[in-house]
């Protein structure tokens, strides 16, 4: 029995490959990262003592770095368990809870017809490519040169030209023996009862072939060369092959790039931009993991395609009003469907710029900066709703109700609960940052947009206890232990990260602990994700040298160099490559304990400030006094930790085996 590709993809997507393989192997707890769907085991195809067999749920693939076997769900069952392909499909369908398809003669006939139509589309694509190189295509070639596209890029994306003729393509295909019914079914001509003679749909246009997930031509997009054309861009109409809302331009190529790590951008990232030329310009600049919807707003089906490639696609929009409105629509579209490990981020371009503009003169660097500043979904929702004046209780209540309603559409209960908490935190910080004292002691709102900190100014909630003079939260905010630390990594965070880079054996000893480290510095958060992925990928080949090589290839060389300089300036030699492993382990343990305690204190501080804000709003003076005292204790603990951290310079030289300035006394 022949199975449709859509059926095979559906049951594969419903069943994690680790579920299929896990019945025959024991996963290695140290190397496996279950939250990322990244699994390691000893290979079931050949005998080995250390795990080199790797599978990824996101890709639905397995590979053994020892014997070289690889495949998908079905290949595993046919190769290891000796099942026939239909038996393997039956087993995966049972796990997916999907009934096996019955033999459908009509469906098989349609599948055969589709194959014939794909052949016709391939002939049309080749015809357009050839036309681009003729004398008639000179104007089109000049346009592509002006847009900065190289001959190699034009060939890679198979760009072509449809001449200004009503029947050039139709005549060519008819001369190849293609029936007019097939030409019409492909959407290549305009036809109908009121049209006596059909004519070519695309005329005097740059042609962009649109490929399926299997890289077959299924449609075309055409960019008009004449300024008088009624439509600047024209897509194929809906056909048996093409359903516009379920296709992304450059899907297959971007999926491969994402699986390969997305170049220097975050591993696994896929970027959704506006149009064909944006995708092509980015690819020419080395950013191959970009896709585009086909001239319409992003649809739910297209969003599902993005999530099939990556758990956190980046949606890229212009920074003008229209772009912000499009981003808002996309946020509303995504919100009901997010879940743990599945969300979106938003990259906003400078006003008046598109991706093509950014990469044309300076290469990929300006666009990479835009990607690095991509905002999470929660930030986009907040920025949109909190953009206004909230100078009355009614307006503040309206904002709170609106946010509650927006978040309520999230289907996943746990994610919804965390969004509700996040919005409460933002509201409390926003309103308290906006409250300014007046001469009569009454509070007056002057929104300042963004997170603020509670200031004990003696408003309607009662006077702060002695010792809290209104500057306490300012001091806490300036503390190196609790502030956002987004500009540069703190010394403690650099010690943690660099120790593991220089002594990756720590990952084998305490992988779960290392995988769970939270960094306040955003760049270090990206770096840590790449480090964990590299460690899993390298497997038994993991060493300080191989790990560094992978991280530097992904663009983290400058960050590593900056951390090394920071460490050496502070003379914390246990984090350097010269340190003995026992010393590095001890130094890492001390830094980890400090870091974990600092994170806990930061959370306590934020929770207390939120509670103080709520008590102030409720005018609950009795509750405020113990809250202030608790906040003072947290502040004192932070001060003690800062002092402790300051005297640990050069901690952990246990064995005298460290080579370097600290050991030599230089």
Structure letter (DSSP) for residue 55 = E
CATH fold label, 251-382:
Dna Topoisomerase Vi A Subunit; Chain: A, domain 2 (3.40.1360)
> Is the alpha carbon torsion for 321, 323, 324, 329 positive or negative?
positive
Burial of 349 (0-12, 13-18, 19+ CB in 10 A): buried
Model confidence pLDDT, tens digit, residues 282-293:
999 999 999 999
Instruction: Please state, in angstroms and as integers, the Cα–Cα distance from residue 612 to each residue in 3, 422, 486, 615, 618, following that order.
Output: 62, 17, 26, 5, 10
Query: How many other C-beta atoms are found inside a 10 Å radius of the C-beta of residue 463?
Result: 13
Cβ contacts of 6 within 8 Å, gap of 6 or more: none
Q: 539's torsion region: left (phi>0), alpha (psi -120 to 50) or beta? A: left
Q: What is the pLDDT of residue 343?
A: 94
Q: Take residue 589 and report the two structure tokens written for it.
A: 């343990």
Q: Take residue 423 and report the two structure tokens written for it.
A: 């919005």
DSSP string computed for 442-489 = -EEE---SS---------TT-PPPTT--S-HHHHHHH-TTTS---SS-
Structure letter (DSSP) for residue 121 = H
Q: What is the pLDDT of residue 590?
A: 83
Judged against a pLDDT cut of 60, whether residue 525 lies above it is answered with yes
**Which of 512 and 143 is assigned the larger pLDDT?**
143
Instruction: Please state, in angstroms and as integers, the Cα–Cα distance from residue 589 to each residue in 280, 571, 585, 596, 659, following that order.
Output: 48, 17, 6, 11, 20
Model confidence pLDDT, tens digit, residues 312-347:
999 998 877 788 888 999 999 999 999 988 899 999
Residue with tokens 């997930």: 213
Q: What is the pLDDT of residue 428?
A: 86
Structure letter (DSSP) for residue 292 = B
Q: 397's torsion region: left (phi>0), alpha (psi -120 to 50) or beta? A: alpha
By C-alpha distance, which of 197, 194, 162 is closest to 180? Answer: 197
Cβ pair 126, 221 in contact under 8 A: no
Q: What is the pLDDT of residue 74?
A: 93
Pairing status of strand 53-56 against strand 70-71: unpaired
By C-alpha distance, which of 308, 276, 306, 303 is closest to 292? Answer: 276
Mean pLDDT within 526-535: 83
> Is the alpha carbon torsion for 546, 552, 558, 559 positive or negative?
negative
Structure letter (DSSP) for residue 565 = H
* CATH number belonging to domain 105-241: 3.90.980.10
Measured in residues, the chain has a length of 666
Q: What is the pLDDT of residue 641?
A: 63
Model confidence pLDDT, tens digit, residues 598-633:
877 877 887 787 778 777 777 777 777 788 778 887
Judged against a pLDDT cut of 80, whether residue 484 lies above it is answered with no
Judged against a pLDDT cut of 50, whether residue 247 lies above it is answered with yes
Cβ contacts of 288 within 8 Å, gap of 6 or more: 253, 254, 256, 257, 263, 282
Pairing status of strand 195-200 against strand 189-192: antiparallel
* CATH number belonging to domain 5-96: 3.90.580.10
Model confidence pLDDT, tens digit, residues 8-47:
988 988 899 999 999 889 999 888 988 778 899 999 888 7
Mean pLDDT within 646-664: 37
Structure letter (DSSP) for residue 35 = G
Dist CA 358 CA 281 (whole Å):
9
Query: How many other C-beta atoms are found inside a 10 Å radius of the C-beta of residue 380?
Result: 25
Cβ contacts of 3 within 8 Å, gap of 6 or more: 86, 89, 101
Query: How many other C-beta atoms are found inside a 10 Å radius of the C-beta of residue 368?
Result: 19
Q: Take residue 660 and report the two structure tokens written for it.
A: 């370097």
Cβ pair 521, 488 in contact under 8 A: yes
By C-alpha distance, which of 82, 99, 81 is closest to 90? Answer: 99
Position 104 confidence tier, pLDDT thresholds 50, 70, 90? low
Residue with tokens 């093409």: 242
Cβ contacts of 253 within 8 Å, gap of 6 or more: 283, 288
Cβ pair 56, 90 in contact under 8 A: no
Position 161 confidence tier, pLDDT thresholds 50, 70, 90? very high
Measured at the CA of 286, the angle between CA 555 and CA 38, to 5 degrees, comes to 55
Position 435 confidence tier, pLDDT thresholds 50, 70, 90? low
Side-chain-side CA neighbours of 320 within 13 Å: the count stands at 5
Pairing status of strand 53-56 against strand 38-41: antiparallel
Pairing status of strand 290-291 against strand 205-211: unpaired
Model confidence pLDDT, tens digit, residues 540-567:
788 899 899 889 888 888 899 889 888 8
DSSP string computed for 139-196 = HHHHHHHHTT--HHHHHHTT-EEE-S-SSHHHHHHHHTT--HHHHHHTT-EEEETTEE
Q: Within 53-158, where are the H helices?
A: 73-80, 85-96, 105-132, 138-146, 151-156
Find which of 61-75, 160-174, 565-579 is predicted with most confidence, using mean pLDDT: 160-174
Q: What is the pLDDT of residue 107?
A: 65
């Amino acid at each position: 029995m022949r199975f449709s590709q859509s059926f095979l993809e559906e049951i594969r997507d419903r069943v994690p490959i680790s579920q299929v393989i896990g019945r025959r192997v024991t996963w290695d707890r140290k190397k496996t990262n279950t939250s990322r769907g990244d699994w390691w085991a000893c290979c079931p195809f050949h005998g080995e003592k250390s795990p080199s067999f790797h599978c990824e749920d996101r890709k639905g693939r397995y590979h053994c770095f020892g014997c070289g076997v690889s495949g998908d769900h079905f290949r595993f069952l046919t190769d290891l368990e000796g099942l026939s392909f239909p038996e393997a499909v039956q087993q995966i369908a049972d796990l997916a809870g999907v009934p096996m398809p019955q033999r459908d003669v009509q469906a098989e006939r349609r599948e055969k017809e589709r194959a014939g139509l794909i052949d016709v589309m391939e002939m049309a694509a080749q015809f357009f490519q050839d036309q681009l190189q003729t004398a008639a295509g000179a104007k089109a070639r000049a346009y592509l040169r002006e847009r900065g596209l190289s001959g190699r890029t034009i060939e890679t994306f198979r760009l072509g030209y449809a001449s200004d003729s009503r029947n050039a393509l139709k005549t060519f295909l008819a001369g190849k023996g293609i029936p007019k019914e097939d030409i019409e079914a492909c959407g290549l001509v305009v036809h109908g009862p009121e049209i006596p003679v059909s004519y070519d749909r695309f005329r005097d246009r740059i042609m962009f072939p649109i490929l399926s997930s299997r890289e077959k031509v299924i449609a075309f997009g055409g960019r008009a060369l004449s300024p008088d054309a009624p439509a600047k861009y024209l897509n194929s109409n809906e056909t048996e092959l093409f359903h516009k809302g379920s296709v992304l331009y450059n899907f297959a190529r971007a999926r491969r790039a994402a699986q390969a790590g997305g170049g220097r951008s975050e591993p696994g990232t896929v970027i959704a931009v506006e149009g064909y030329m944006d995708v092509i310009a980015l690819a020419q600049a080395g950013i191959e993991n970009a896709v585009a919807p086909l001239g319409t707003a992003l649809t739910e089906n297209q969003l599902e395609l993005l999530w099939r490639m990556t758990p956190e696609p980046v949606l890229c929009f212009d920074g003008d009003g229209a772009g912000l409105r499009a981003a808002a629509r996309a946020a509303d579209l995504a919100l009901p469907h997010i879940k743990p490990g599945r969300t979106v981020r938003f990259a906003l371009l400078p006003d008046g710029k598109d991706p093509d503009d950014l990469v044309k003169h300076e290469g990929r660097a300006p666009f990479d900066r835009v990607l690095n500043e991509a905002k999470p979904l929660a930030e986009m929702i907040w920025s949109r709703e909190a953009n206004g004046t909230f100078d009355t209780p009614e307006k503040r209540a309206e904002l709170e109700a609106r946010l509650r309603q927006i978040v309520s559409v999230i289907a996943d209960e746990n994610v919804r609960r965390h969004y509700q908490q996040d919005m409460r935190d933002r509201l409390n910080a926003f309103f308290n940052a906006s409250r300014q004292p007046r001469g009569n002691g009454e509070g007056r709102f002057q929104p300042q947009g963004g997170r603020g900190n509670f200031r004990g100014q003696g408003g309607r909630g009662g006077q702060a206890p002695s010792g809290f003079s209104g500057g306490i939260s300012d001091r806490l905010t300036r503390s190196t232990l609790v502030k956002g630390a987004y500009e540069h990594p703190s010394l403690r965070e650099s010690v943690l990260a660099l120790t593991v880079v220089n002594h990756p054996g720590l990952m084998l000893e305490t992988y779960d602990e290392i995988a769970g480290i939270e960094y306040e510095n955003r760049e270090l958060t990206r770096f840590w994700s790449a480090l964990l992925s590299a460690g899993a990928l390298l497997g038994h080949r993991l060493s300080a040298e191989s790990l560094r090589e992978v991280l530097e290839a992904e663009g983290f060389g400058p960050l590593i160099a900056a951390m090394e300089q920071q460490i050496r300036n502070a003379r914390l030699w246990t984090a350097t490559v010269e340190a003995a492993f026992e010393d590095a382990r001890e130094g890492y343990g001390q830094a980890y304990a400090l870091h974990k305690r600092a994170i806990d204190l930061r959370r306590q501080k934020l929770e207390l400030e939120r509670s103080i804000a709520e008590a102030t709003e409720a005018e609950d003076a009795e509750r405020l006094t113990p809250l202030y005292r608790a906040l003072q204790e947290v502040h004192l603990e932070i001060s003690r930790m800062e002092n402790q951290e300051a005297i640990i310079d050069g901690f952990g030289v246990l064995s005298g085996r460290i080579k370097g300035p600290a050991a030599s006394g230089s």
